[in-house]
Amino acid sequence: MPASNSHSLPRIRVLATGGTIAGAQTGGSRGYQAAAFSIDALIGAVPQLATLARLEVEQVAALGSQDMNESVWLKLAERTAAALAEPDLAAVVITHGTDTMEETGYFLNLVVRSRKPVVLVGAMRPATEISADGPMNLYNAVAVAAHPEASGRGVLVVANDEIHFAREVSKTNTTQVGTFKATDRGLAGLVHAGRLHLYASPVRRHTAESEFDVAAGSTLPRVEIVYAYAGMGRELIDAAVRAGAKGLVVAGVGDGNVNATALAACAAATRSGVAVVRSSRTGGGVVERNIEVNDDELGFIAADELNPQKSRVLLMLGLQRTSDPAALQEMFFRY
Ligand code: GLU
């Protein structure tokens, strides 16, 4: 569905998945339903988009992103790659709920083998809310995707006038429009009513240089996350192993720690061939090897800078290639 007749503008495909950006209030002052509007309706509400790009749309899914899953990720990766393989298509913009946007973004950052821009965009307020943030976020996302300097930067997330690297960004607030933060490494840039200010380059390997890909028919191995807390037991770790998990991420306290009981369960998991990653529930910082836990002896992998949910994404892709903890550890240092 071309939105402009100007052939000098870049051709951009918008892949829609739902989310609050497409949400409608349901009557009460707070209640709303995600993914109520089609992508055509969202684009139709922002006629200024026609000054930025020739847009075409594809509705890949229509869900609140709490319902995002591996099979939609695989489909989205395939549709993104197919779009970017078209020589005269400049970029892809993906509309997505904010709850799990960081996981989808990081997944695509690892499997989409292209230097062309891929920009995820969402909103915190539904499309029918007072001062909805979706229309400006969408306008800014298309402006970023259309900009030549956005290429080669990995998958980006645009919201609230900010440009983030998918690897670095996290949702940090349940309701505020400024929910996205990149605590450790900061912004990729800013975008004000379509005007870009790019600051930084990505620090780790991504997209075109990635070793990962997902061919048609791929499946991802089961990887569970277990959250640590004072006084935790071992039952959930043992249950994950019994349920057939090939990998386990602990959202550890502090520097990826768990208590002695849980540590024994994690060590038993590695002995039975499960890859165990120590990540942190703190929301920032690096989990280093061999500080309070002897990772070398116990066969654990330190998450380095990745939060638990992104550690899970990398571990799923890593386990498709190897189950060797040393090789998996190198991936956590490289991506
Ligand atoms: N649960 C919704 C989602 O992730 C709300 C968050 C949003 O989109 O802002 O789709």
Catalytic residues: 20
Q: Tell me the CA–centroid distance for residue 178 and ligand 1, in Å.
A: 14
The range of the structural domain enclosing residue 111 comes to 6-209
Residues 249 and 193 in one domain: no
Give the closest residue to 80 by CA, choosing from 66, 91, 68.
91
- Rg for the chain (alpha carbons), in Å? 20
**Closest ligand 1 atom number to CA of residue 18:** 10
Whole-angstrom Cα distance, residue 114 to residue 127? Answer: 31
Total domains, the chain: 2
Q: Tell me the CA–centroid distance for residue 311 and ligand 1, in Å.
A: 21
Residues near ligand 1 (Cβ within 6 A): 19-20, 34, 64-66, 97-99, 122-124
Residue nearest to atom 8 of ligand 1 (CA): 97
Q: What is the pLDDT of residues 240-250, one digit of tens each?
A: 999 999 999 99
Q: What is the pLDDT of residues 167-185, one digit of tens each?
A: 999 999 999 999 999 999 9
Instruction: Give burial (CB, 10 Å; 0-12/13-18/19+) of 326.
Output: exposed
pLDDT recorded at residue 94: 98
pTM for the model stands at: 0.95
Q: Tell me the CA–centroid distance for residue 58 and ligand 1, in Å.
A: 19
Residues 50 and 106 in one domain: yes
Residues 292 and 238 in one domain: yes
CATH code: domain of residue 102 = 3.40.50.1170
Residues 173 and 271 in one domain: no
Whole-angstrom Cα distance, residue 110 to residue 205? Answer: 8
**Closest ligand 1 atom number to CA of residue 35:** 10
Residues 243 and 284 in one domain: yes
Instruction: Give burial (CB, 10 Å; 0-12/13-18/19+) of 105.
Output: buried
For the chain, strand residue ranges (E) read 11-18, 24-25, 32-33, 54-63, 91-95, 118-121, 156-159, 162-165, 170-171, 180-181, 189-192, 195-198, 223-227, 247-252, 275-280, 301-302
Whole-angstrom Cα distance, residue 110 to residue 100? Answer: 16
In a domain, 1, yes or no: no
Q: What is the pLDDT of residues 273-319, one digit of tens each?
A: 999 999 999 999 999 999 999 999 999 999 999 999 999 999 999 99
Residues 58 and 186 in one domain: yes
Residues 178 and 72 in one domain: yes
